[in-house]
Amino acid sequence: MDFTRVSVLCLGDLMLDRFIYGAMERISPEAPVPVLRLTNTREMAGGVGNVANNIRSLGGRAVLLGLRGHDTPGTALRALIAESQGIDDHTITSDTRLTTCKTRFIAANQQVIRTDEESVAELTSEERRNLEAAAMRLLPDVQAVIISDYGKGVCHPDLIAAVIETARTRDIPVFVDPKSLDFRRYRRATCITPNARELGAAAGFVTDTLEKVEQAARELMSQAEIDAVLATRSEQGMALIVADQPIRSVPSRAREVFDVSGAGDTVIATMALAHASGASLEKSMHIANAAAGVVVGKLGTATADIVEVTAELEAQLDTAAENAPPANCMLLSQEDAAALVERWKMQGMKVGLTNGCFDLLHPGHVSLLTQARAACDRLVVALNTDASVRRLKGTSRPVNPLADRAEVIGALRQVDAVVAFDEDTPLDLIQGLRPDVLVKGADYTLGQVIGADFVEAQGGTVVLAKLTPDRSTTAILGRVIR
């Protein structure tokens, strides 16, 4: 992962996060409340400022745009941003608004109380014009946009609409952390990142199962013309719902959780960086899930860096491997094959798939498999079951039963996994495995390749491998009979 060439416009509600630490050792003689003996104070940028900090920590360049007041928290924010290398400060000072300041009092690594100073007034006409003008000036130099709506007034509907529309006309993806329950406010966003509770509140029903999460997401996506929803589900991980694609989810790894403050900021920052650098939304979700796992193990509004996220991804893969099939060429069930393909994809590998009877192995088969493996990092071979071969080739076939064919194919160095399908075509299997590359022989045209349209719609490619003349199982059997 290399995010150093990605710049992200971070627009939204800016705030100061203040953490005051102390020790509680006695009860006050004035009232039945504990006395907090203060020891030290820490301040950092919160809200969209924490999103920018995460962009910076992960190696990207953050372009920060928001409002701050003429007050002590505003001055502190300006100083904090100035100290942060990797954040371009384009914040605007407001003459009418307080700087939002959240002060958390902490004892024994736990928050005991939080106080908020804030203004939730709607933007003035001048503030909105200034923010929109700044956004239009900055958009040509960024590769992604994050809108961080904390409901403090900066994310005015007209401002959001103008930024999203301009970004989309430039093919710049827009990620939104929503606060409003009316998702039409974020119309035409690339991806919004609510938690499951927010998603349910917006849809009007409880989203306590994965099926309900998907139902709510698809309804809201349709209403707001949004491309995708990434729903964070606390200890249950994340679910990604993309239009015209099946739901995808990733579990969280068991860990000790100290503080979830700012975890949503980390998720959206990582999603935007990963997608802008070329990763699919699904792969970006895996990376964001790892980043969130890092920050919830820290106290306070935290960030994750590339080294920590890479280590967490490896730890997640190790955890998944405990229940995953070994990466060998034994005949896998379709469920185990799907899990193995998913694991390879999480590691950034391109997975290819080819299919056939592969009854009597010959040089034509070897050539096809060699070309297929050259087009990907891992190759899965799907074999017709014996019943499927009989329906296609006649009652005298196959010569070799499925177990034998699988063992021979699996022994080839070009093949990384073998799976079987009983249907006349491998379409269901292709849709289940979702390969990045689909390979068939050049005796097919692109329009004849089963599953080609599905693979291409997923962003994959179809390869038509060159054939070896006069090499086929049928020809071999004919020579044997003669």
Q: Which helix (H) or strand (E) holds 112?
A: strand 110-117
Is the pLDDT confidence value at 261 over 60? no
Could you give the 3-state DSSP secondary structure of residue 81? helix
Residue 317 is predicted with a pLDDT of 56
- pLDDT tens digit string along 230-247? 999 887 888 999 988 888
Check for a shared fold between 7-14+45-93+120-323 and 331-481.
no
What is the per-residue pLDDT across 197-232, written as a single tens digit (0 to 9) for each?
Answer: 999 999 999 999 999 999 999 999 999 999 999 999
Q: What is the pLDDT of residues 58-79, one digit of tens each?
A: 889 999 999 999 999 999 999 9
Closest CA to 415 of 445, 376, 458, 455: 376
* E strand residue ranges, 137-295: 144-148, 174-177, 191-192, 228-232, 238-242, 248-250
Asked if residues 186 and 192 have their Cβ atoms less than 8 Å apart, the reply is yes
Q: pLDDT digit string (tens) for 112-154?
A: 899 999 988 889 999 999 999 999 999 999 999 999 999 999 9
Share of the chain above pLDDT 70, in %: 88
Question: Does domain 7-14+45-93+120-323 sit in CATH 3.40.1190.20?
Answer: yes
DSSP states of 236-277 = G-EEEEETTS--EEEPPPP------TTHHHHHHHHHHHHHHT
Least confident piece of the model among 130-139, 299-308, 355-364: 299-308
Q: Which residues are catalytic?
A: 265
Closest by Cα among 229, 241, 296, 288 to 1: 288
Q: Which of 360, 358, 400, 399 lies closest to 381 in space, CA to CA?
A: 358
Measure the CA–CA gap between 270 and 288, rounded to whole angstroms.
5
Least confident of 279-293, 368-382, 427-441: 279-293
Least confident of 106-110, 195-199, 392-396: 106-110
Report angle CA 428, 355, 476 to the nearest 5 degrees. 145
CB atoms within 10 A of CB 24: 15
In sign, the C-alpha dihedral spanning 409, 410, 413, 414 is positive
Q: Is 457 exposed, middle or buried (0-12, 13-18, 19+ CB in 10 A)?
A: exposed
Q: Is 196 annotated as a binding residue?
A: yes
pLDDT confidence bin for 260, thresholds 50/70/90: very low
Measured between alpha carbons, how far is 390 from 382 in angstroms, rounded to an integer? 16
- Is pLDDT above 60 for 355? yes
Domain segments of the chain as ranges: 7-14+45-93+120-323, 331-481
Record the pTM. Answer: 0.66
Residue 195 known to bind ligand: yes
pLDDT of residue 446: 86
Q: What is the pLDDT of residues 406-415, one digit of tens each?
A: 989 988 888 9
Just give the CATH number of 331-481.
Answer: 3.40.50.620
If we measure between CA atoms, which residue out of 54, 58, 57, 132 comes closest to residue 90?
132
At residue 344, the pLDDT reads 82
> Is residue 254 predicted with pLDDT exceeding 80?
no
Q: Evaluate if residue 362 carries a pLDDT over 90.
A: no
